[in-house]
Amino acid sequence: MPDGAARLERAFTAAGRPVFMPYVMGGYPDLAASVRHARILGRHAAVIELGVPFSDPLADGPTIQAAGQRALAAGTTPDDVLGVAAELRDGPPIAVMTYYNTVLARGADAFLARAADAGVAGLIIPDLPVDEAGPVRAIAHQRGVALVALAAPTTGEERLEEIGRHAEGFVYCVAVTGVTGGEVAVDDRLTGFLARARARIRVPLAVGFGVRTPEQAVAIGRHADGVVIASELIRRIDEAPDPAAADAEVAAFGAAVDRALTASA
């Protein structure tokens, strides 16, 4: 098992309760702020998802699209974001979320070498489904980085098994049929999906897309090992009047989610 996979699995299971996995976009609102926000959230999180801005993010709704556009307009590159990861290496394990073309452009080997150097534990590629992932997975293995698979409510039984066979670190379960930034409903469809995933996947399950409140995190946490919040954090940063207020907002929200998850255990 790659070392990154072991670190991620431990991070999700060590607390013995569902944990918080906040999303921070590298370079948003600027590089230094993204490092600061990740450090603040690191006090309340077991794993940090670090996003790489991309020009055409197919799995993302308007909030993350706009944040990405702003980061790109400021000149943020994938390399810069791996630099952010390196600065955060003393905190919780990092899973880098990036679209496949940024990996291809650099070359999977070079990209993963750099990610491994930066101490990245896992790589999430939302447009690289399990049946296309073989070559990247092999390279990630050599570098000790876990290639994190995604599963969705529309994923059939056979594919869930296939995902389970390759799963390492954790599996990212998409909570909604849709893109990021919507609003999740914790209903039979979602809990049924998570039960199906649980039955076929050995590694921890992290659930994200559309989770906005501590209450939703708690409700989802009953059926999962980790809860991801992304667009809601970005919206709060967007709305803050200045950087200090954004830092305070991020700290308060991170603490509230963590407190709720701890209390629910």
Partner 1 sequence: MSVATRFGPYGGRFVPETVIGALDELTEAYERHRDDPGFRAELAGLLDRYVGRPTPLYRARRLEAAWGVGCLLFKREDLCHTGAHKINNALGQVLLARRMGKGRIIAETGAGQHGVATATASALLGMECCVYMGRVDMARQRLNVIRMRMLGAEVRPVDSGSATLKDATSEAIRDWVTNVGTTHYVIGSAVGPAPYPEIVAELQSVIGDEARAQSLADLGRLPGTVVACVGGGSNAIGTFRAFLPDAEVDLIGVEAGGEGLTGRHGASLALGRPGVLHGSYSYLLQDPAGQVAEAHSVSAGLDYPGVGPEHSHLRDTGRVRYMNVTDAEALDAFSRCSREEGIIPALETAHALALIAREGGALSARGPVLVCLSGRGDKDVDQAAAALGIDA
CB-facing half-sphere around the CA of 191: CA atoms within 13 A: 10
The footprint of partner 1 on residues 62-81 (CB under 8 A) is 65, 69, 72, 77-79
253 scored as a contact of partner 1 (CB under 8 A)? no
List the catalytic residues.
49, 60
- Helices and strands in the chain: count of H runs, count of E runs: 12, 8
Cβ 248 to partner 1 shortest distance, Å? 31
- Token readout for 212 is 């906005």
Burial 90-109 (b: 16+ CB within 10 A, else e): ebbbbbbbbbbebbeebebe
Cβ 121 to partner 1 shortest distance, Å? 21
Cβ 235 to partner 1 shortest distance, Å? 17
104 scored as a contact of partner 1 (CB under 8 A)? yes
User: What element of type H or E holds 106?
Assistant: helix 100-106
Degrees to nearest 5, angle at CA 231 with 40 and 218: 75
Q: Which of 106, 114, 137, 223 binds partner 1 (CB under 8 A)?
A: 106
159 scored as a contact of partner 1 (CB under 8 A)? yes
Residues that bind partner 1 (CB under 8 A): 54-56, 58-59, 61, 65, 69, 72, 77-79, 99-106, 126-132, 150-156, 159, 174, 177-179, 182
